Amino acid sequence: MKIIVVGAGIGGLEAARLLAGAGAEVYVVERAQDVAAMRYDQYDDVDADVFGRCGLPVPHGSFAKRDWTFVSPRGGVREMHEANPDLSVDRKELNRMLVDGAKFAGAEMIWGAECSGAIVEEGRVVGIEVMGERAYADLVIDSAGMDSAIKASLPGNMVITRHDDDEKFSVYRAFFKRNEGAAESEFSNKAYLKHSGEQGISWVIRRGGVDDVLVGNVGNLTVGQMHERLNALRADDTGIGTVIEHGQGFFRIPVRFPATRAVADGYAAIGDAAYLTVPMLGSGIATSLRAAHMLARSLFGGVKEGGDAVKATAIQNLWRYQVSLFKAFADHCGADVMRRGVLALDDATLDFLLTSDVLTNDDVCALAKGKMPRLTLGDALGKAFRAGIKNIGKLTPVAAMLSKAKKAARIAADIPRSYDEAAIFRWEEKLNKAVRGR
């Protein structure tokens, strides 16, 4: 079986390692010139258990993430404490580890190669257009991000999930040298919700003499908005300097529930191309690593049952991968409902929700990881009543949001287990209505 992985993303590289290790002929096509040129000069938080779960070592230089502190639009503060914190992982180290693993397993890395689209013949993806040439394969794994040229080139009769404008997160991120002699801020990891009245977040993570600063909006982020938010962060913490140490850049990541159609004949999306991020925070490393194992198991299952390369990479068999995604990440659909709902709350309600005990520490930790909180409607109303009758009204939209989120997660988990176009269409309609309201 010949497989082309487009983009050296986390999920694509792990899939390349697994599939090459099983005997497939695997090529990873990446536009960067080498692993050092990939744009990830940063740390990202990753579920600590995922490396052992996937049979991978923890990347060199990783350390336990510090607790987050959330700041509401009105200045209310909520600390979060995780008993089992994520790891802060150096993305460059992680990329090197995954590239080395794929190469050691037998995958061939093709650097400096820009893909312009897919080759589709008789309703099946049979390869890619790369640097003006055609490369054919039994399966194309799309690991080229949310704005993948491969996905964009697929014809309309190949139904693959696309994102709306309010399902992207536009981000500016940079690491600033901290001003010498500045007073230490009270909290080392601060996330500002709906910062400066915008539909998004900002954060400051202090690591020694450097501040990791992020400014992000749902939808688009203008340069003017970015500078306004940076000034607001510096007004709150005078230690944030203006000298950039490293890592400056603008990025776009998905913040939505997983793609309901991530597969087609000869095609499978993974990572950001399949929207495998935690909707509340945009982290997708752990989910992408796990998805690679799901995809490999689906392909192995098709081959084990006697299928040739064409049958193993047909949508009927690849649907197993789709089902695995929603069995594992159904809660992401509920978390997406919560994300949309939180951004729609007025500042007073959001401040109350964040600073009261309506959400427990465990609830906040669950939401940050893309899981549903254990809070019930009765619990929420009881807590609000004890906090004062005036707060009951604030709980009405929160209770509705919580109920809607749990419903969306239940629908997501009820994905048709085998490929049946009519049943899948009905399930998609129900899930889109539950999450997006349409």
- What region, left, alpha or beta, does residue 233 occupy, with left being phi > 0 and alpha being psi -120 to 50 degrees? alpha
166-175, 330-339, 361-370, 415-424 — which is least confidently predicted?
Answer: 361-370
Quote the pLDDT of residue 146: 95
Quote the pLDDT of residue 220: 94
Averaged pLDDT for residues 190-202:
92
128 in Cβ contact with 119 (< 8 Å): yes
Quote the pLDDT of residue 360: 82
pLDDT exceeds cutoff 60 at 156:
yes
Quote the pLDDT of residue 65: 85
pLDDT band at 217 (very low <50, low <70, confident <90, very high): very high
pLDDT band at 155 (very low <50, low <70, confident <90, very high): very high
pLDDT exceeds cutoff 80 at 236:
yes
* CATH class of this structure's domain 166-254: alpha beta
The Cα 62–Cα 351 span in angstroms is 33
Quote the pLDDT of residue 38: 86
Averaged pLDDT for residues 393-407:
81
Quote the pLDDT of residue 363: 80
The Cα 134–Cα 127 span in angstroms is 7
Task: Choose between 227 and 305: higher pLDDT.
Answer: 227
Averaged pLDDT for residues 337-360:
86
Give pLDDT tens digits for 352-388. Answer: 888 877 778 888 887 777 777 766 666 666 665 665 5
Shortest CA distance to 138 belongs to which of 130, 129, 128, 148?
128
Q: What is the percent of the chain where pLDDT is above 70?
A: 95
The Cα 87–Cα 59 span in angstroms is 10
Secondary structure (DSSP) of 226-294: HHHHHHHHHHH-TT--S-EEEEEEEEEEE-SPPPS--EETTEEE-GGGGT-S-TTT---HHHHHHHHHH
The Cα 102–Cα 278 span in angstroms is 25
Quote the pLDDT of residue 352: 84
* CATH code of domain 2-62+85-163+258-329: 3.50.50.60
Quote the pLDDT of residue 188: 79
Q: And the tokens for 254?
A: 């998905």
Quote the pLDDT of residue 369: 73
Averaged pLDDT for residues 42-46:
88
Burial (0-12, 13-18, 19+ Cβ within 10 Å), 104:
exposed
The Cα 311–Cα 253 span in angstroms is 33
What residue ranges do the domains of the chain occupy?
Answer: 2-62+85-163+258-329, 166-254, 332-416+426-436
Q: 130 - beta bridge partners?
A: 115, 133
pLDDT band at 52 (very low <50, low <70, confident <90, very high): very high
- What region, left, alpha or beta, does residue 194 occupy, with left being phi > 0 and alpha being psi -120 to 50 degrees? left
Quote the pLDDT of residue 432: 96
Q: What is the percent of the chain where pLDDT is above 90?
A: 68
Burial (0-12, 13-18, 19+ Cβ within 10 Å), 319:
buried
Averaged pLDDT for residues 95-103:
97
pLDDT band at 51 (very low <50, low <70, confident <90, very high): very high
Quote the pLDDT of residue 356: 79
The Cα 186–Cα 172 span in angstroms is 24
Give pLDDT tens digits for 278-312. Answer: 987 778 999 999 999 999 999 988 887 777 899 99
Give pLDDT tens digits for 237-290. Answer: 999 999 999 888 999 999 999 999 999 999 999 999 999 999 877 789 999 999
pLDDT band at 392 (very low <50, low <70, confident <90, very high): low
